Amino acid sequence: MTKRTAVITGAGSGFGLETARLAAQRGMNLVLVDVQADALEKAVAEFTNVEVLSRVVDVAKAEQMQALAEAVQARFGAPHFVFNNAGVGSGGLIWENTLADWEWVLGVNLMGVVHGVRLFTPMMLAAAKADPGYSGHIVNTASMAGMLNPPNMGVYNVSKHAVVSLSETLHQDLSLVTDQVHASVLCPFFVPTGIHQSHRNRPSEFASAKPTKSQLISQAQTDKAVSSGKLTAADVAALVFDAIDHQKFYIFSHPQALAGVQTRLEDVMLQRNPSDPFKDRPEIGAGLRAKLRAD
């Protein structure tokens, strides 16, 4: 039996690293990808009992992702698992996001997934056609922000809604052409991963302007929420592999957050204005409004 291969972007920390650890426990070849060279090098050093191909890649860059796909094909052939996981965070009132903010966040969060899907899916489908025993699975990391629209983090919401849409369409499109390759979308809520400090890897070409008040408020709230998360990145990685084993499409780290999704969909179905996201925690909404309206 051919040894299975997992491609993981954002593998230097958070979900990516924990996913790599579980893949290694299952004896898979690892393709570890990250934009942060030191974090990637440290991660690679952990894996001494499996074959590892590591690459420093900016997933937003088409040519770098193309080179990665070619390297994977040459070393291991078509991968069996692709985790399009790399992501960055950014907040603030939506009209205050600069063009550089939009290009950076959409480049990583959306185009990184697009490149992973467009480059690896054809390889996986070719492998499936050549071998009836082959099975593959693509997991795209979105967010609960891809199912809801929390205020003061619009550019991130937009990127993650796009990943949910892309993933749902991928699931449907795959079902038209094969029974051997499947897809899932991961929608974590606040989990300690390091994404709230993703500006550490922001390229100089997308240098950020001095943060606005709303962006500083968003950063502080996200720092607090992420660092106080009870579920760990390892817990979420275990959920991902369980979903793969049972061919589950939606992966939610905090199913209780789906109540907000139901409310949003009811808003749509009933054609009513979007509900107050703070109706269950009015003090938080009142505090945010007061901060944003203060001179």
| Catalytic residue list contains 134 | no
Buried b (16+ CB within 10 A) or exposed e, 36-68: beebbeebbeebeebebbbbbbbbbbeebbeeb
State the catalytic residue, choosing from 81, 104, 156, 241: 156
**d(C-alpha 148, C-alpha 257), whole Å:** 9
User: What are the beta bridge partners of residue 53?
Assistant: 31
Listed residue (140, 143, 163) closest to 153, CA to CA: 143
CA angle 46, 47, 50 (to 5 degrees): 175
Upper half-sphere CA count for residue 44 (Cβ side, 13 Å): 16
Tokens linked to 37: 């060279």
Position 23: which residue type?
Answer: A
User: What are the beta bridge partners of residue 187?
Assistant: 252
* Residue numbers annotated as active site: 156
